[in-house]
Structure 1
Amino acid sequence: MDNEVKNSFRSGYTRGLGFGLALMIIGIVYLGSNFGLIPFPLKNIIISWQMLLIFIGVVHFFKRKFISGVIFLFVGGFFILPKVFPALDVNFQQNFWPLILIAAGTVIILQRVFGPRFLSERWSDEWSHSHHHRHHRHWRDERNDYREGRHKWEASKESFSKNSIFGSGDHIVLDPEFKGGDLNAVFGGITLDLRRTNLPVGETVVEVNAVFGGVTIYVPVDWHVETHLDTVFGGFQDNRMPKEPLDTTRKLIIVGSCVFGGGELRN
């Protein structure tokens, strides 16, 4: 229980630190621009939605969320290039979709060869120590299970992890206890149904990141759920009809960010 409290405090501390740092940078840039110390074109680069995505990506790297960090950095970095290099052709951004198709194809091939959760679990296990109560399992075992037909996505004993890029998916968790996890939707959608599982005693964390995409989470009516998400031109709606009394010994905490995207919590 003490570890759960410490993890909760550390998570809130990280989010508060990142938000405070962002406000400081914005204030310094505006102040420097007012005094003529920062050129107007540079101000437009720093204060932009593209730079915001890059900042979120860097924060995710510090939180050791490799996959979502790469996604935010790629999208923000690509669309900010014409601002940084004005000589680029005005049609440069048309290359975004071919690059996305190449990246998506690469992801599909890697997942087919090494198993569906190779990209999410292998890197997460190497970069972090059970941020969402994860249990380390060698990625070669995951690959062998997948090839031999033993892989059960929703029935895994480990935390749930799903990345949706230009696609959609519906997932039902059948484990006796839900261990937490992360959902990343980029130009796509994810639906996660938790109505057939239970929470362990204490706090369980789910990280949701939606970039030009959407995430829908279904939970039982008696669950105690808290949402702590950063939204930019997006939102996360709580459309539940909770049933009293709520189970206060167990809590689901939803964190993350929605940038030009959104999410919804339902019963």
Structure 2
Amino acid sequence: MKISYYNGEFLEDDQVAVDYNDRAVYFGDGVYEVVRIYDNEIFTFEEHLERLVNSAKEIRIKIDKDEIRHIMIQMKEKNKLPNAALYIQVSRGIEGRTHLFPKEGVKPVVLSFINKIERPVDAMREGVKVVTRDDYRWLKCHIKSLNLLSNTLLKQEAKDSGATEAILHRDGRVTEGTSTNVFAIKDGVLHTHEANNLILNGITRQYVIKLAQALDIPVKEEAFTVDFLKEADEVFITSTTQEITPVISVDEVNIGDGIAGEVTKKLQDAFEKGI
């Protein structure tokens, strides 16, 4: 039986009962992280913790990083899943529905669960198709908020179109995917949107940039157009669960030869060595 965590208790998964007055339910009022466990080790653990704390601070929730670290370690040890995705969220707390913040003394509520997950081997080898869509989300995308309705609608549009992901753009300039960051390679240079309020600064994104720099691959963090994306030599998307996944077509336009490119493969190999 899996063990989950809610509001101060480790419980068997089917015993968890989320309070309907939890502001995560009413308003999506909280933040979250998903971390990857490889061979019993939490990958890029401290980077995820730091981003969770920063996201919470942005929406005026105070959390104890050491407490969160302890919960996540306990979740890993109690469930004994060597390869898994561990989810943790922090809401503003439990109180009757009102748009104002809860009264003083209401404490944040932590929820955590874990699922066994396999690496996306086929997608990383064969690549995926994507479509482009207007980015109509809010202007604080750097916060890893529980509010994911727009992302969900856009992801479903992609699936309905026969694609794996929707690559978003504002006024024709690519931002990110619904659940991924986007990279384009042109003439040996790795391009990706700068880390600002229009994208989530993905932990895998940051890791890939470091890998590229170690491999002497030039990196340019600057917005590029949808046309540039479609004309790139290679394109790939990154996330905690997708790792480095090649994109073989954008809006049914083949990228390069329609297969994973050499720079992408080089980065995949370096990632493999790092996990």
More helix by share: 1
More strand by share: 2
Q: Which category of TM-score, normalised to the shorter sequence, fits these structures? A: under 0.3
TM-score normalised per structure 1: 0.27
Q: Which structure has more RCO (C-alpha within 8 Å, separation ≥ 6)?
A: 2
